[in-house]
Amino acid sequence: MTAGGAVPGPDGRLRCPWGLSTADYVTYHDEEWGRPVHGDDALFERLCLEAFQSGLSWITILRRREGFRTAFDGFRIASVAEFGDAERERLLADEGIIRNRAKIDATLANAKLLAGWAEGELDELIWSYAPDPETRPAPRTVADVPAVTDESTALSKALKKRGLRFIGPTTAYALMQACGLVDDHVRDCVSRGGGK
């Protein structure tokens, strides 16, 4: 075991060190992070949550995810695109989410924009930036995991060019990690390669 490499959990299985810091993280690490996510609404949810996470710890978002899902009607693009001033004011007062005006406004604006896209267009665009896994060696430690890549920078630029907001290169890379476009589980982690 290398410093920052996989560490044994209570069940003896090796995991990424961050995946053992709380019970919430163990479940998220083992069952979600790095697993492929497809579908426009599902990717819209992850895009929104990653934007809300900017400047905060992921555990803050993870623990409020059900509140976010309730507040944003399950992150159904067509539904959120219909939100008006009353819904915006409700969101700004909702203690179950992060009440950041700029992030709420970006979510609403992004939904309105995406509602005009063809079905599957967001999924296709995001996944077109997935790098070839053969070109990415498994990170030995968490120190080997980048915060930004050429692909995340290009994805951020592509999304911004199409009018989406609050999606910089770091947020784009976190999205890529969370949605399985890249596998950044450390080399000896039980979840590396989707937990095979």
Active site (catalytic) residues:
28, 50, 58
- Count up the domains in the chain and report the number: 1
pLDDT at 196 over 50: no
Task: Report the interhelical angle of 101-114 vs 85-93 (nearest 10°).
Answer: 140
Share of the chain above pLDDT 70, in %: 98
* Residue 7 belongs to some domain of the structure: no
- Per residue in 50-59, pLDDT tens? 999 999 999 9
- For the record, the structure tokens of 177 come out as 């990690």
Angle at 40 between CA 83 and CA 87, to 5 degrees: 10
Q: Are 58 and 50 in contact (CB under 8 A)?
A: no
Predicted pLDDT at 195: 62
pTM value is 0.95
Domain range spanning residue 55?
40-179
* Residue 188 belongs to some domain of the structure: no
- Per residue in 80-110, pLDDT tens? 999 999 999 999 999 999 999 999 999 999 9
Radius of gyration of the chain (CA): 17
* Residue 27 belongs to some domain of the structure: no
* Residue 97 belongs to some domain of the structure: yes
Q: Are 184 and 34 in contact (CB under 8 A)?
A: yes
29 is in an annotated binding site: yes
Predicted pLDDT at 1: 45
185 is in an annotated binding site: yes
Identify the bridge partners of residue 15 per DSSP, sorted by sequence position.
Answer: 7
